[in-house]
């Protein structure tokens, strides 16, 4: 019995130290990782692991270099490209079977073992700059442009974004005239969640010239009580297009969630839908266009 | 229990042969088209394209090895649990290991993963496995304590306590689900379906040494487990240290399942159906049932993982879905066949 206890103890100890060894291995792999290989647009085979990354590749007109995307990028190619699944569960062999030269991913992509093995197989793993501000988006565009060799297209795209951004900036109403806008995430069987700071939709609200009262209190998407929502007294409520369609329109939404009807937004029926792709991942180009469209909707009358 | 149907040799030899063929075969199967000759060269470290040798040596071979060990551990623990609890529905989850491990993993994913931003050390690969292991051990210990009084451990009380504590862990899991953000929810869902994809050589070494320890000690107790089938009192009258036996077996199974859950997440059904299949082939004698379960468990998980790697390539289907998809109908058929005898 004592020998058994000892053995089990040893096994348990190994179980807890295994991750540390893995960590050490990873550190070693990273220190030996190959540096930037100059990209060659003609032979590039790129896998995009994120909707906002695929959006940039298409906006730069570099989609011929794409060989596969993740599950959220379906909209851009309608299933004509293979789907590598969820960007946090990438598979080594599945990806290598596509003989990619480059994987472009966000900071959240993983697991680390897969990324490490891909690097070992001479696949360049480019992790894009994170963040939901326009400057972050521009940084990401620059990174993708460098990978794809589409730098002139990037210059034009940047100019377009700068134009749009300064237009949005000019349209900003004075602070006391800004409307209070919240975004509500509807999920079957869970309470309503509000979008707080560090979400693309928070930036959209800011860009459209409104304030997001939830941003001061919460980070990312969190469930909110009806009382908290009533206290915020939003003038406008945004919901994603898909959930609004699923529930059957604004009327049905107000019947399903009666407390929304007593907010200023509900009373004036100022509940608007926002296009889904501008919400997934990080702030993208379509997010800016959505901000412009919503600005017109909210301040247009 | 039914009578012995086959001679051990007529069962073990074909099963071992099929297992060997499948193990080698699944090295040749995968989303990346690799010819048998190329794979052969990669296995024996001869000259071949570097990406091919990487896929064979660092993806396929490690996965085959991990599948064999984890499947064997889960199936053996299932066989022992069913013998110990004298209950055909017992699986390793019954003593709370899986429920506790799931709770531990959920804690790591929902509560500690967001904190990792501020404490980079927490972000290591290891948080989820360690928490799963600790959670599984603690809950098993609790269930064992609940079932133990001064008169010894009652397997019936343990069985009920296991159900109750698992329900409690499920409630806590639900609470964590409620507060989880979308990303954590997705991670949690994927973890609970199991995957053999996280293969480091350290993981494989751990799994195989666990298997070796379990095989040795469980096989050692096989005769006592056979006596246990007659009833606890009968086993005691035969001079078997019943309390020590129960403690030892529960400890072994908790460690085995705890380690496999922490390495691969929740892989259901292997521990439940494989022992039944084994009993159908060689009867209830644990001397034969335990090693046969190990072989069959490894075989089932190997087949399931090969499907998981190839069905939706380049993505991957969680292996737990496949074991349940294949296992549940098989189990129903087994029940159907046995209705008259149970």
Q: How many domains does chain B have?
A: 1
Q: E strand or H helix at B250, and its extent? A: helix B242-264
Supply the DSSP symbol for A219. B
Task: For tokens 């080698």, name the residue.
Answer: B24
Closest chain A C-alpha to B276 CA, distance in angstroms: 28
**Count of residues for chain B?**
342
Tell me whether A98 touches chain B (CB under 8 Å).
Answer: yes
Q: In degrees rounded to 5, what are phi and psi of residue A104?
A: -105, 125
Q: Across-strand partners of A185? A: A193
Closest chain A C-alpha to B180 CA, distance in angstroms: 8
Q: Please, which pLDDT band fits residue A31 given cuts at 50, 70 and 90?
A: very low
| Residue in chain A nearest B314 by alpha carbon | A94
Inter-chain touch B190–A86, beta carbons under 8 Å: yes
| CB nearest to A89's CB, from B50, B60, B190 | B190
- Asked whether the predicted pLDDT for residue A225 surpasses 90, the reply is no
Q: Please, which pLDDT band fits residue B223 given cuts at 50, 70 and 90?
A: very high
Beta-sheet pairing, A46-49 with A102-105 = parallel
Chain A neighbors of B203, CB-CB under 8 A = 18
Inter-chain touch B202–A21, beta carbons under 8 Å: yes
Q: Provide the domain limits for residue B86.
A: 8-338
| Residue in chain B nearest A196 by alpha carbon | B181
Q: Please, which pLDDT band fits residue B7 given cuts at 50, 70 and 90?
A: confident
Q: Burial of A192 by CB count in 10 Å (0-12 exposed, 13-18 middle, 19+ buried)?
A: buried
Tell me whether A110 touches chain B (CB under 8 Å).
Answer: no
Closest residue by Cα to residue B161 from B143, B149, B148: B143
Q: Determine the pLDDT at residue B340.
A: 67
Instruction: Answer for the pair B26, B60: CB distance below 8 angstroms, yes or no.
Output: yes
Domain layout of chain A by residue ranges: 46-157, 173-299
Closest chain A C-alpha to B336 CA, distance in angstroms: 36
Inter-chain touch A94–B31, beta carbons under 8 Å: yes
Q: Across-strand partners of A180? A: A211
Residue B163, domain member (yes or no): yes
**Topology alike, domains A46-157 and A173-299:** yes
Q: Determine the pLDDT at residue A91.
A: 92
CATH number of the domain encompassing residue B175: 1.10.3470.10
Chain B neighbors of A99, CB-CB under 8 A = 51
Across the range A98-102, mean pLDDT stands at 95
Closest chain A C-alpha to B320 CA, distance in angstroms: 15
Options 3.40.50.1980, 3.40.50.970, 3.30.365.10, 3.90.1150.10; which CATH number does A46-157 get?
3.40.50.1980
Q: Determine the pLDDT at residue B118.
A: 61
Number of other CB atoms surrounding residue B13 within 10 Å? 11
Instruction: Classify domain A173-299 at the CATH superfamily level.
Output: Nitrogenase molybdenum iron protein domain (3.40.50.1980)
């Amino acid at each position: 019995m004592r020998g058994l206890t000892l053995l089990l103890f040893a096994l348990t100890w190994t179980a807890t130290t295994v991750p540390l060894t893995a960590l050490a291995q990873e550190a070693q792999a990273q220190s030996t990782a190959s540096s930037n290989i100059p990209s060659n647009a003609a032979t590039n085979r790129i896998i995009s692991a994120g909707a906002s990354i695929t959006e940039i590749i298409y906006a730069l007109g570099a989609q011929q270099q794409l060989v596969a995307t993740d599950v959220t990028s379906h909209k851009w190619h309608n299933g004509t490209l293979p789907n590598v699944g969820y960007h946090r569960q990438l598979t080594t062999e599945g990806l290598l079977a596509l003989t990619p030269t480059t994987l472009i991913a966000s900071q959240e992509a993983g697991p680390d073992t897969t990324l490490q093995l891909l690097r070992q197989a001479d696949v360049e793993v480019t992790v894009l700059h994170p963040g939901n501000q326009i400057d972050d988006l521009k940084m990401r565009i620059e990174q993708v442009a460098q990978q794809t060799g589409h730098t002139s297209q990037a210059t034009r795209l940047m100019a377009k974004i700068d134009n749009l951004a300064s237009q949005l900036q000019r349209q900003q109403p004075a602070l006391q005239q800004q409307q209070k806008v919240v975004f509500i995430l509807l999920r079957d069987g869970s309470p309503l969640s509000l979008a707080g700071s560090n979400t693309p939709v928070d930036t959209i609200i800011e860009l459209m010239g409104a304030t997001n009262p939830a941003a001061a209190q919460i980070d990312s998407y969190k469930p909110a009580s009806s009382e908290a929502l009533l206290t915020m007294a939003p003038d406008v409520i945004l919901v994603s297009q898909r959930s609004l369609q699923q529930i059957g329109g604004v009327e049905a939404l107000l019947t399903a969630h009666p407390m929304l009807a007593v907010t200023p937004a509900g009373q004036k029926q100022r509940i608007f839908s926002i296009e889904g792709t501008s919400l997934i991942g990080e702030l993208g180009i379509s997010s800016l266009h959505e901000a412009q469209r919503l600005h017109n909707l909210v301040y247009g009358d | 229990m039914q009578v012995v149907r086959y001679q051990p040799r007529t069962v073990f030899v074909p099963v071992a042969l099929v297992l060997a063929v499948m193990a080698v075969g699944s090295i040749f199967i995968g989303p990346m088209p690799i010819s048998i000759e190329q794979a052969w060269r990669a296995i024996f470290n001869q000259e071949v394209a570097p990406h091919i040798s990487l896929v064979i040596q660092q993806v396929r071979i490690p996965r085959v090895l991990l599948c064999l060990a984890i499947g064997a551990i889960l199936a053996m623990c299932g066989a022992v649990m069913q013998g110990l609890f004298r209950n055909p529905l017992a699986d390793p989850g019954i003593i709370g290991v899986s429920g506790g491990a799931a709770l531990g993993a959920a804690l790591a994913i929902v509560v500690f993963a967001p904190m990792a931003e501020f404490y980079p050390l927490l972000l290591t690969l290891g948080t989820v496995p360690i928490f799963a292991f600790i959670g599984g051990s603690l809950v098993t210990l609790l269930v064992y304590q609940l079932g133990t009084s001064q008169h010894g451990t009652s397997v019936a009380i343990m069985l009920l306590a296991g159900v109750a504590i698992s329900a409690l862990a499920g409630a806590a899991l639900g609470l964590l689900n409620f507060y989880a953000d979308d990303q954590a929810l997705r991670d949690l869902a994927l973890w609970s379906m199991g995957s053999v994809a996280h293969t480091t050589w350290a993981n494989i070494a751990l799994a195989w040494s666990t298997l070796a320890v379990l095989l040795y000690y469980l096989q050692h107790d096989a005769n006592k487990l056979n006596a246990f089938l007659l009833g606890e009192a009968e086993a005691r009258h035969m001079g078997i240290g019943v309390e020590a036996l129960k403690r030892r077996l529960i400890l072994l199974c908790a460690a085995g399942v705890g380690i496999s859950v922490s390495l691969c997440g929740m892989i259901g059904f292997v521990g439940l159906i494989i022992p039944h299949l084994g009993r159908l082939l060689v009867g209830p004698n644990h001397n034969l049932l335990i090693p046969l379960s190990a072989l069959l468990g490894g075989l089932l998980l190997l087949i399931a993982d090969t499907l998981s790697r190839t069905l939706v390539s380049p993505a991957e289907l969680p292996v737990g879905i496949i074991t349940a998809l294949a296992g549940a109908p098989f189990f129903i058929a087994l029940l159907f066949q046995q209705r008259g005898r149970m």
